[in-house]
Amino acid sequence: MTEREKRSQRKRWRTYKAEQKRKRSMVESLLNMSPPATPSMSGPSRQRLHGEAIRRINKRAMTKRIKDLEEQLVRTKLQSEKYRKRWERSRPLTPRKKTMKLLRDSFGSAKSKLLFHVALVEQIRHKYRKAKTERMRNIYARMIAGKLLQKYKISKFVQTEIGIGTKRLTSATHKPLQMMIQRQYFSKRYRLKKLIIDFFCRDDVSRMLSGKKETVKKGKTKKQKRVLMESLIALYSRFCTEFPSDAISYPLFCKMRPFWV
C-alpha cells in the first residue's frame, strides 16, 4: 500500500470512529433523559400468592373427595358381596353343585349318599326289567327322563345302567308323565260315568215320560224326562251289587246321575 493509500485509509477510520462516538453519546444522552427503571421486588407477586392459595384449597378438597369416594366404593363392594352371597345361599343347589358339596363333605356322608345312589339305580333297573307291559316301561321311562339328563349329559349313563333304549328315552323326555296319568284318570272316569248313565236309563230303574212338553234342557242338550222307579239309596245298593268292581261312594253316585232323570 502506498503512502497516499495509507493516508486515505486513516482518514476513513477517523471519520468512522467520530461517527461511532457521536452515536454513542447520543444514546447515552437519551438514556439519561428516560425515567428510572422500576425497582425489582425481592419476593413473589400478590397474584401468584393468591393463585397458590386457591390451588392448595382445591387440592385439599379433591383429596378429601377422593378419600370419601374410595370409602364409599369399599362399602358398596362389601354390601354387594353380602347380597350376592345371600342370593347364592337362597338358590337351590344344582346337581353339579350338590355333587361338589358331597365331595367336600366328610367321608361318612359321601359314602351313605353314594350307597343310596347305587341302590336307587339298581332298584329302578330291576323294576324296569321286570315290567310286563310296554305301558309300564313307558311310565318308568317318563319318570326318569327329563331335560336335566340332557343338560348334564348323562343320558348315555341312564341307557347303560338302567337299560332304557335311546328312542324310548328321547320320546319320554318330551311327553310328561302327568299327561299319561290324566288320560288314564279321565278315561276311567268317562267309562264310569257312561256306566251310571246307562244304569239310570234302564227301563227297570226309571220310566220315560210320554208328554211332548215333558223335556228338560241343559246347555244345548235336550232330553226327555225320566222318573225313578225306586229311591236313590235302593238304586245305589243295587248298582254296587250288580257292578262290584266299579263300586263308588253314594255321593259320587248321586253326582253322576244324569240331569234328565
Q: Are 147 and 173 in contact (CB under 8 A)?
A: yes
pLDDT recorded at residue 144 = 79
Per-residue pLDDT tens, the chain, 261 aa: give them: 788 888 889 999 999 999 999 888 888 887 777 666 665 556 678 888 888 999 999 999 999 999 999 999 999 999 999 999 888 888 777 777 777 777 776 666 777 777 777 788 888 888 888 888 887 888 878 877 777 777 877 788 887 878 888 777 777 776 655 555 555 545 677 888 888 889 998 888 888 888 888 888 888 888 889 999 888 899 999 888 888 888 888 998 888 889 888
Q: How far is residue 92 from each of residues 38, 88, 97, measured CA to CA in Å?
A: 86, 8, 9
Q: How far apart are CA 235 and CA 205, in angstroms?
A: 8
Sequence ranges of the domains in the chain: 97-175, 185-255
**Maximal C-alpha separation, the chain:** 178
Q: What radius of gyration do the chain's Cα atoms show?
A: 55
pLDDT recorded at residue 44 = 76
Residues facing residue 152 across a β-bridge: none
pLDDT recorded at residue 178 = 54
Residues 188-197: contacts with CB under 8 Å, at least 24 apart: 192/246, 192/248, 192/256, 193/256, 195/243, 195/246, 196/239, 196/253, 196/256, 196/257, 197/256, 197/258
Q: Are 168 and 138 in contact (CB under 8 A)?
A: yes
Q: Which residues, other chains included, contact 106 with Cβ-Cβ below 8 Å and sequence gap of 6+?
A: none
Considering the entire predicted model, what is its pTM?
A: 0.33
What is the DSSP secondary-structure string of 103-127? HHS-HHHHHHHHHHHHHHHHHHHHH
What DSSP designation does 40 have? P
Q: What residue has cell string 353380602?
A: 82
